[in-house]
Amino acid sequence: MTVTLEKSVEDFIATPRQLFIGGRWVHAASGKTFATPNPATGETLANIAEADAEDVDRAVRAARAAFDGPWSRLTASERGRIIWRIGDLIDEHADELAQLESLDNGKPLAVARAADIPLAAELFRYMAGWATKLEGNTIALSVPYMPGAEFHAYTLREPIGVVAQIIPWNFPLLMAAWKLGPALATGNTVILKPAEQTPLSALRLAEIMAEAGLPDGVVNVLPGYGETAGAALAAHDGVDKVAFTGSTEVGKLIVQAAAGNLKKVSLELGGKSPNIVFDDVDPALAIPGAANAIFFNHGQCCVAGSRLFVQESRFDEVVEGVATIARGIKLGSGLDPDTQMGPLVSDEQLRRVTGFLDSGRTDGARTVAGGNRHGERGYFVEPTVITDTSPDMAVVREEIFGPVVVASPFSTLDEIADQANATTFGLGAGIWTRDVSKAHALAKRIRAGTVWINCYNVFDAALPFGGYKQSGWGREMGHEVLEAYTEVKAICTQLHI
């Protein structure tokens, strides 16, 4: 059984989609198109114009014209009101957007409706408020080589300019919101490149943003591939900043490409986040918590709790509890209301994740739940729990980005602090205990951007998110993200002249 698609969704996917440049829908300069598949079946869902370098040039020109022109002439309040309206329109079209997201990405419709879409709306509204609250400082000067001189010195916080934003496929609309909200609130203009696997909701968002009153050219949307459109954006001399979310490997390529004109860079990359369960905690809380930490969004979360550590005396109980949940999860199409976990996003991800499952077996780890592809159609993988690992195994070291958790026991706080940090990543961590002093002592020692205590996967537009180490540069959300989208200008006036 599947839900009936809204008429607007059927029409949207039936119409070949174009690029959105300068407020207009246009064909790619090359005339090329690409197909986005339905991950539940592998069949083509929709055809989309494929942007490349020439389209990037056009979009950069449009973004520059909007930055120099209409966008910079709006008051902060007018800017904020448009951004707020984008949030409200997302809510108005929530059912439709949730269906598009579920179709294109594979996630259960109910999850898109309860999490992705409202979080995106909230993000825009939170950021709308910042538009009127960007402030500089006045600063007292004491210049030693100008005795007696007096100054009036202050700072202005200004937009960086034309920003390229390259986003992934795991939360397509939400990642667009995380990127666009702060860029717009601070007065930048944008070229957004959605992931080639999931371009649909960003294209619908372009229509919504126009309806909200965003001037032409302020946001341009260029669906296309990373190696072509993405690389051209990251390297373009007319782009002042690039913001990227995706693999650590591509994050490093972005940094190299950005070096040409030393554009500003912010990165939100991969993770291998530890989720740590102490033996004092109620297993009825920790077991579903640990399962949610890894299985939410089919494990396709940069911050997935993919390394589960359980204190020795409860190890078997917690691992068996998570394995029991894993075995009971109902896999199916995201549009089937009974589905608890949908397919992975693509054939490529299916092959990556099953490759890790094979490598775990070859390396001698034990699979206690799942471990295989599910079915023959679509890109489904069984929720998987692996034990008996060693620290050098690929399943322990590398980001799998699928519903696969590796579990191991620990004994002391010192030992677990070291193990938690024994990774090149530093995105998130979970701690489950009733002992507040233990929780905060460990939270302080963990080298990661987010630490959740007795919860996991709690996101809020007000809570900054980002990575230590190779998990990224800079923070998204919260007021911290404003730093990533503004330049600070110091202005110094000598008085009594």
Q: Work out how close the CB of 270 gets to ligand NAI at its nearest, in angstroms, rounded to a whole number.
A: 5
**Burial of residue 340, with CB atoms counted within 10 A of its CB: 0-12 exposed, 13-18 middle, 19 or more buried:** middle
Q: Among 160, 399, 426, 430, which residue sits at the site for ligand NAI (rule: CB under 6 A)?
A: 399
The reply on whether position 352 binds ligand NAI by CB under 6 A is yes
The H-or-E segment that residue 157 falls in is: strand 151-159
**DSSP for residue 226:** I
The reply on whether position 159 binds ligand NAI by CB under 6 A is no
The reply on whether position 246 binds ligand NAI by CB under 6 A is yes
Catalytic residue among 50, 96, 101, 268: 268
Contact 216, 148 (CB under 8 A): no
Which positions from 258 through 317 interact with ligand NAI, judged by CB under 6 A?
269-270, 302
Q: Among 56, 234, 344, 405, which residue sits at the site for ligand NAI (rule: CB under 6 A)?
A: 234
Q: Which stretch binds ligand NAI (CB under 6 A): 33-41, 154-162, 193-201, 440-448?
A: 193-201
Q: Among 102, 105, 201, 245, which residue sits at the site for ligand NAI (rule: CB under 6 A)?
A: 245
How far is C-alpha 14 from the chain's CA centre? 28
Q: In what order do the strands lie in the sheet with 384-387?
A: 366-369, 384-387, 404-410, 307-311, 274-277, 428-432, 450-453
Which positions from 97 through 116 interact with ligand NAI, judged by CB under 6 A?
none
Q: Work out how close the CB of 101 gets to ligand NAI at its nearest, in angstroms, rounded to a whole number.
A: 15
Q: Among 28, 109, 253, 369, which residue sits at the site for ligand NAI (rule: CB under 6 A)?
A: 253
The reply on whether position 365 binds ligand NAI by CB under 6 A is no
Q: Does the annotation mark 268 as catalytic?
A: yes
Q: Work out how close the CB of 99 gets to ligand NAI at its nearest, in angstroms, rounded to a whole number.
A: 22
Q: Which stretch binds ligand NAI (CB under 6 A): 75-83, 183-191, 204-212, 242-250?
A: 242-250
C-alpha span between 80 and 304 (Å, rounded): 33
DSSP string, 429-490: EEEE-S-HHHHHHHHHH--SSEEEES--S---TTS-EE-SGGGEESEESTTTHHHHTEEEEE
Q: Which stretch binds ligand NAI (CB under 6 A): 59-67, 72-80, 241-249, 321-329?
A: 241-249
C-alpha span between 205 and 183 (Å, rounded): 15
Closest by CA to 382, choosing from 289, 287, 299, is 299
Neighbours of 66 (CB within 10 A): 24
Return residues touching ligand NAI (CB under 6 A).
166-168, 170, 193, 195-196, 225-227, 230-231, 234, 245-247, 250, 253-254, 269-270, 302, 352, 399, 401
Residues involved in catalysis: 268
